[in-house]
Amino acid sequence: MPDKRLPLWEVFIRNKRGLDHKHAGSIHAADGEQALQYARDTYTRRNEGSSIWVVKSADIVASQPEDEDSFFEPAEDKIYRHPTFYDVPEDLKL
C-alpha cells in the first residue's frame, strides 16, 4: 500500500486569457488529474478560471525569508535601471 496521505498540490489559476496564472491556494489529491478536478471544484465555482496549473508543493523551490535582504540586495543600488535616472529635456517627450 502506498502512503495513505493524499499529497498536497499548489493551485495556480489564470482568470482569463491574457493574464498570468496566479497562486490561489492548495488542495490534496492522489495525482495530477484528480488535483486539476479538485482545484476546479474548489477554486473556480464562479467562472474564475480559464486555465489551471497544479504542482506538487514538495516540488517548489523557494527563497528563504531570512535571506530576503542579501538575496535581493544586488538590485538595490542600480538606480540607473530606472528611466527617471536620466536627465533629458522635458519637452522632447522621450
Site for other proteins, rule CB under 8 A: 1-6, 8, 25-31, 34, 41-43, 45-46, 62, 64-66
Least distance (Å) between residue 64 CB and other proteins = 7
- Return phi, psi of residue 26, to 5°: -135, 165
Q: Which is nearer to other proteins, 42 or 50 (CB)?
A: 42
Q: Select from 83, 86, 23 the least CA-distant residue to 55.
A: 23
What is the C-alpha to C-alpha distance for residues 6 and 31, in angstroms, rounded to an integer? 9
Q: Which is nearer to other proteins, 41 or 73 (CB)?
A: 41
Q: Which is nearer to other proteins, 31 or 73 (CB)?
A: 31
Least distance (Å) between residue 88 CB and other proteins = 36
Left (φ > 0), alpha (ψ -120 to 50) or beta: where does 18 sit?
A: left
